Chains A and B, each alone.
Chain A
Amino acid sequence: AQSVTQLGSHVSVSEGALVLLRCNYSSSVPPYLFWYVQYPNQGLQLLLKYTTGATLVKGINGFEAEFKKSETSFHLTKPSAHMSDAAEYFCAVRRSQGAQKLVFGQGTRLTINP
């Protein structure tokens, strides 16, 4: 079975500050990992993904995440927060083989303070 834990249901940072959203996963097989962002009243948009290869992956809007197998983590970072980054962020895991369903964390609501 697979599961995802996002530490912190709410994170608040100042504009220009570092954004760090934490995600830990559990998977019995090599995982594929994803971060999605959800703006109010909208669907989920894929930010970035890790499948194979380089463990530091870059996504849209200046976000990046690093897959750390030893720590079973896939934390999302952005060096400098922008007001437009305020949204809900979801970490998700799926198997690299077989079932393709995504298992999501509970989400982290990011607030940006001016």
Chain B
Amino acid sequence: DSGVTQTPKHLITATGQRVTLRCSPRSGDLSVYWYQQSLDQGLQFLIQYYNGEERAKGNILERFSAQQFPDLHSELNLSSLELGDSALYFCASSGSTGYNEQYFGPGTRLTVT
């Protein structure tokens, strides 16, 4: 158990809809990262937040957005969903000391029908 929690575990929705994925980092970790894992693209970095502020952006679509709240949990919002958005979405967290190893949650499997 990494200490990172993600909800829900599974999500099935229709094209055009909007969903919110939630992540709670390990206790004390200030950084949260979102990654997408799909068969054709592999594991790709989407976005990083540090203590409530956006820190880095990767291959995140304009239809996707994220935020980190004062209690450090984070949400990834996916809108106008397309079939190609079906994937596993992982959240990871890291501390501000040491080498900032990232610890991953169990993921949310999104299926768009």
The answer to whether A and B come from one shared complex is yes
Which residues of A approach B to under 8 Å, CB–CB?
32, 34, 36, 42-46, 49, 51, 90, 99-107
Q: In the A-B complex, list the 8 residue pairs whose CB atoms are closest, starting with the nearest.
A: A104-B43, A101-B45, A44-B104, A43-B104, A43-B106, A51-B99, A106-B42, A43-B107
Residues of A within 8 A of B107 (CB): 42-43
Q: How many residues of B contact A (CB 8 A)?
A: 25
Q: Is the CB of A103 within 8 A of B45?
A: yes
Chain A-chain B contacts (Cβ-Cβ < 8 Å), number? 52
Residues of B within 8 A of A104 (CB): 42-44
Which residues of B approach A to under 8 Å, CB–CB?
2, 4, 31, 33, 35, 42-45, 48, 55-56, 58, 90, 92, 94, 99-107
**How many Å from the CB of B45 to the closest CB on chain A?**
4
**How many Å from the CB of A2 to the closest CB on chain B?**
11
